[in-house]
Amino acid sequence: MPISDLFQLALRGLTRRAVRTTLTVLGIVVAVASMVIFLSLGEGIRRVFTQELGNIGPDVQISLNGIQEGLPRTPDLPESLVAKVEQHREDWGIRSIIPVVISAKGGFDPRQSFLIYGYPTAESVLDISPGVQVTEGRLLEAADEGKLVAVLGFKAAENAGLKIGSDVRFNRRNFFKVVGILKEEGGFTDSFIFVPRSTLQKAMGVENQISFIAIKLQDPSQARTVAKQISETLDVEAQTQSDFLKVLDRAVSISDAIRFGISLIALIVGGLAVANTVMMGVFERTREFGTMRAIGAKPGFIRNLVLLESLLLAFMGGLGGILLGFLGIQVVNYYTQQLASISAAALTPRLTLLAFAVSFALGLLSGLLPARSAGRIVITEALGRN
């Protein structure tokens, strides 16, 4: 029998039990959609960091423990190391050396969570983030060192409801006066707060300590070589943007595995629903299959018919799950755009292929047992059923 006829028979078998088929497909849709949304977060984070690091990241970053340790809770790199790096400026082709202090201000409300960057001068901010422009007020100036002033990213100001002259509470004793608000750039800088480095050190009680040293090179293509020279000469961790992306990708891959494991529970439930629907169909159509066998249909034909029904259920559920997942991703991105001006989720081609592959595997595995049972039906017993 031609494939088209087999396909039509499979569709007829599914539409005959429209309510059961619809409910089964909906179960798969929800399972696949949850997997797509969960894994899209990892895809989106990879894309955002790849795009953003080229715009705001240093060519080489010097820290005590390296990127693997994450951002230190308190600055732990001796500030005296800046002078040692300065001695090799010409040898290593360094354009700028920027000691940076970082502090994370968190809270239960994500809109009240900020990453505070302490830079030595306004020129340093422009060097790390060349596209930074103010929409209100001004940038930090060299004369601001030691003063409790701050320049806010657009989203940081908007989410906290702050404006020029407002106070940003850092702790009980320190409040930063807002002197500038940056123009919206649609990236990480929209959520940052920039303050004078020495002021932040004093507020944190870590004078003479910094979080890391950001280095911009005359020739960024030499970043790997320079990082190796710095590590060997100064006995510290010097890492490039590619090092950061490798660590990020490893961390995101681990989180992807965890999210996929959570989604797997829903997928298993969806697979059981498919198996149940197809098995019930086999039971209800035993006489029909017996008649097919009696007029010449081979067991393999019956098995292929049942298996095709299972695959069709999974395909429809997979397609619907991808579409529903895409809508969910738009909702996630709307929220993250409002929160931090970034799209945190992405439906990439490889994620789409993965969703279809999982749906196919789900349909195949769920249909094997019912198909095997259908192919082993005894003609005389099947025709004797009412």
> What is the pTM assigned to this prediction?
0.70
Strand duo 175-182 + 149-152: pairing: parallel
Q: Which of 29, 8, 20 is nearest to 321 (CA)?
A: 29
3-class SS at 206? Answer: coil
- pLDDT computed for residue 325 by the predictor: 94
- pLDDT computed for residue 21 by the predictor: 85
Task: Judge whether residue 123 has pLDDT over 90.
Answer: no
- pLDDT computed for residue 295 by the predictor: 78
Alpha helices in the chain (DSSP H): 3-15, 18-56, 81-86, 89-92, 122-128, 154-160, 197-204, 223-234, 241-284, 286-294, 299-340, 349-375, 379-383
Comparison of pLDDT for 312 and 8, the residue scoring more: 312
d(CA 207, CA 205): 6
3-class SS at 57? Answer: coil
3-class SS at 284? Answer: helix
Phi, psi dihedrals of residue 309, rounded to the nearest 5°: -60, -45
Instruction: Average the pLDDT over 301-327 and give the result.
Output: 90
Task: Judge whether residue 72 has pLDDT over 80.
Answer: no
